[in-house]
Amino acid sequence: MRYFDTNVLINYLVEQDTEKQLQAKRLYAESAANQTFFITLLSLQELTYALAKIKVEQAEIEDAYEKWHSPELQDYSPDIFARAFWLSRYIGFKHTNDCLHTAMGEAYGCTELITYNRKDFVRIQPLTSLKIIIL
């Protein structure tokens, strides 16, 4: 499974950089076709917040929610949060959600985490068995 960080989803939906949007769309299409696309409730929560923050129309936010919301979306447990806390300790507690994404990817059997967030995930990379793909 390929865990998609929220920033990849944002680039998929909103053209801020044409090259990134094309790349995000290709990665999503590949993963959806192979049934390896994985997001969590955390991803969806961050996505709707980020879209509102960059002033995306409410109807488009609702469409994104409808596209990816599902009863099968996974949430984090106390054990997953404990793992994220452990990761956070090593990167200064400033990016807990990135650590949660990593811990959730690990817990739910993902092999890759795909992100545009080099700054934070380069620090997490040595602490996880996930293959972190920084675009």
Q: Can you tell me the mean pLDDT for 19-36?
A: 97
Q: How many Cβ atoms sit within 10 Å of the Cβ of residue 105?
A: 27
Q: Please tell me the pTM assigned to this model.
A: 0.94
Residue labelled with tokens 């452990």: 86
Quick one: pLDDT at residue 94? 85
84-122, pLDDT tens digit by residue?
999 999 998 889 999 999 999 999 999 999 999 999 999
What's the Cα-to-Cα distance from 27 to each of 71, 83, 124, rounded to whole Å? 23, 27, 22
Domains annotated for the chain, with CATH where assigned, are 2-134 (3.40.50.1010)
